[in-house]
Amino acid sequence: MKDNLENIIKEKKHEFDFEEPNIGHFERFEAKLKAQNKPKSKVVYWPWLAAAASVIIIFGIWFGDNFNPNKGLELADVSPKMEETQSFFVQTIQKEIALIEKNKTPENQKIIDDAFLQLNKLEDNYKKLTVQLKESSEDKRVIYAMIFNFQQRIEILQNLMQQLEDVEQIENQNEQII
């Protein structure tokens, strides 16, 4: 079959070869070939530059994180007992938020948004307290204010859960009446 195809092409060669390339085709083709064959300069320093840049970035993050004047001390930084206290409060808050997220509906969205707005304000206040704790070299009044801040957040979340339960009971009673 291969021989048959070759014979057909040889016999009809004059039918295939009827177009001429545009003027200057060979020069353009030759210029493209020369451009491809130019030796490309290799960047020998690239791996070293990448390594140096990553070291500088890591050092900058560490330096900025450790020497940031706006970064304060957490309760956990004061003592192991305070670390345990902070851990308890954070876990309790996270559990309450998870319960609230499970009970979120379009009907109670406004109540939840209002409570979370209050939580955000308390969180901002807590960040200011961490800076004060750092500046006051572990003043007990600031520590008590931080603990009180955590307690207020938990109280807001518990009140929110109670409100959500009340709303749900009212909705259930309305459904039973109808």
Residue 47 in any domain: the answer is no
29 shares its domain with 81: no
Q: Domain check: are 81 and 155 in the same one? A: yes
- Of 90, 95, 99, 69, the C-alpha closest to 146 is 90
Residues 79 and 25 both lie in one domain: no
Rounded distance between C-alpha atoms, residue 71 and residue 91, angstroms: 22
Q: Are residues 157 and 85 located together in one domain of the fold?
A: yes
| Chain segment 117-127, per-residue pLDDT in tens | 999 999 999 99
Dump pLDDT digits (tens) for 120-178. Answer: 999 999 999 888 888 887 788 888 998 999 999 999 999 999 998 888 888 888 777 76
Write out the residue range of the structural domain in which residue 29 sits: 2-36
Tell me how many domains the chain contains: 2
The answer to whether residues 24 and 106 belong to one domain is no
The percent of residues in the chain predicted with pLDDT above 90, rounded, is: 15
Could you tell me if 167 and 82 lie in one domain?
yes
Written in H, E and C, the secondary structure of 75-144 is HHHCCHHHHHHHHHHHHHHHHHHHHHHHCCCCCCHHHHHHHHHHHHHHHHHHHHHHHHHHHCCCCHHHHH
Same domain for 171 and 97? Answer: yes
Do 17 and 96 lie in a common domain?
A: no
Q: Say if 56 falls within a structural domain.
A: no
Tell me, rounded to whole angstroms, the distance of Cα 118 from its chain centroid.
24
Same structural domain for residues 169 and 102? yes
Q: Please give the model's pTM, rounded to 2 decimal places.
A: 0.58
Mean pLDDT of 71-86: 80
Q: Which two tokens mark 23?
A: 């003027």
